[in-house]
Amino acid sequence: MPIAEMSVNVLLIFAVGGGVGFLSGLFGVGGGFLMTPLLFFIGMELSIKAFVISLRQALLVVGGQLVSAALLAVLIGLLLDVTTREIVILSFVIAISSTVVAMKMLDEMDALRGDAGRIAVGVLIAQDIAVVPMLIFVSSFGGQGFDITATAIRVLVAVGIMAGLLWYFGRFGKLKVPFAERVEDKVELLALGALALCFSAAAISGVAGLSPAYGAFLAGICIGNSTLRSRVIPVVEPIQSVLLVIFFLSIGLLIDLTFIWDHLAIVLLAAVGVVAAKSVLNVMFLRWTGSSPQTALIAGLSMAQVGEFSFVLAAAGLAASALSDDLYRLVNAVTAITMLVSP
């Protein structure tokens, strides 16, 4: 099996995969087996310096998206007669855009490296960061009652650690890895070491009461802003590609065609309404925060769909018994349709 033009023992890959699967199940990563490494890869590709340049505008836009998504979720909740917890989950789902789809659209328009791409990527990174406390919040809905104090503390701790990391890397630059020169040319060690760090951080985060995906995301940020970044990213790209394919295949399995056909009017109305509302609001927020009309239009339309992490948020809500089966299927259907119809 060639990885980065070097051979890897197939039996070793299977052994590591089995071990990772066992540990992920043991430490509660299981249900997020795909999303845990995917968040690790997203964190690894996060450029702190590029993000800091558009930080103010990105935070303002994401804040506006969250508020408008909450209002839209309340409106949907009144029409569908859903619970308060379901409205909260819907607001998170609507606010998130697809990083994969948006960046592909911008790249095809040759706008990814322009002003529109820079601003859109900054907003998408801020959304990806916001997903982690969202997952912690939604997962806290499980059990007999909802402890708002404990949940607030967990979210504040998570946000505080994340902010500390962003501040450190923004100020001091790359993290120097001990003995980096001895392992930088050893492809197998880099691949296995990256995966080991990913799942170790996820396990520790899960045991600490935070989301396993949170630990994986932090580990990705540390690797992506270290002296080994340029060596590790090419090595793990094949793994990332395989996981992305499996993830989107699993999305196809989540789509209930019978449910869509039986509720076709509601599904189409929700999909069209969400895309139209997000398009208008995104452009409006970008214009208010200083972007030119053309930049705001391109960046705003690229983020009009509902994102892939909405599947994860909906699944977390269903697992916590905070989201009904019908609403879960509706979220999956709307998310898939909005991603499919994106240019």
pLDDT in tens, 181-214: 777 777 778 888 888 888 888 888 878 777 777 7
Short-list 5, 30, 34, 8, CA closest to 245: 34
Predicted pLDDT at 22: 42
- 73-129 pLDDT, tens digit each: 898 888 888 888 899 999 999 999 988 788 778 888 888 778 888 888 888 888 877
- 123-153 pLDDT, tens digit each: 888 887 788 788 878 877 765 556 677 777 7
- 209-267 pLDDT, tens digit each: 777 777 888 888 888 888 888 788 888 888 888 877 887 777 777 778 888 899 899 99
Q: 297 Cβ partners below 8 Å, 6+ apart?
A: 283
Predicted pLDDT at 280: 93
Predicted pLDDT at 144: 55
- 17-52 pLDDT, tens digit each: 444 444 444 333 334 556 677 778 878 877 677 677
Predicted pLDDT at 147: 65
Q: How far is CA 333 from the centre of its chain?
A: 18
Taking 80 as the threshold, does the pLDDT of residue 268 lie above it? yes
| Alpha helices in the chain, H assignment, sequence order | 10-26, 35-44, 48-53, 55-80, 84-95, 99-108, 115-139, 148-172, 180-183, 187-207, 212-224, 229-254, 257-262, 264-288, 293-302, 309-319, 325-340
- 277-320 pLDDT, tens digit each: 999 999 999 999 988 999 999 999 999 989 888 888 888 888 88
Predicted pLDDT at 33: 59
pLDDT over 70 percentage in the chain: 86
Predicted pLDDT at 146: 60
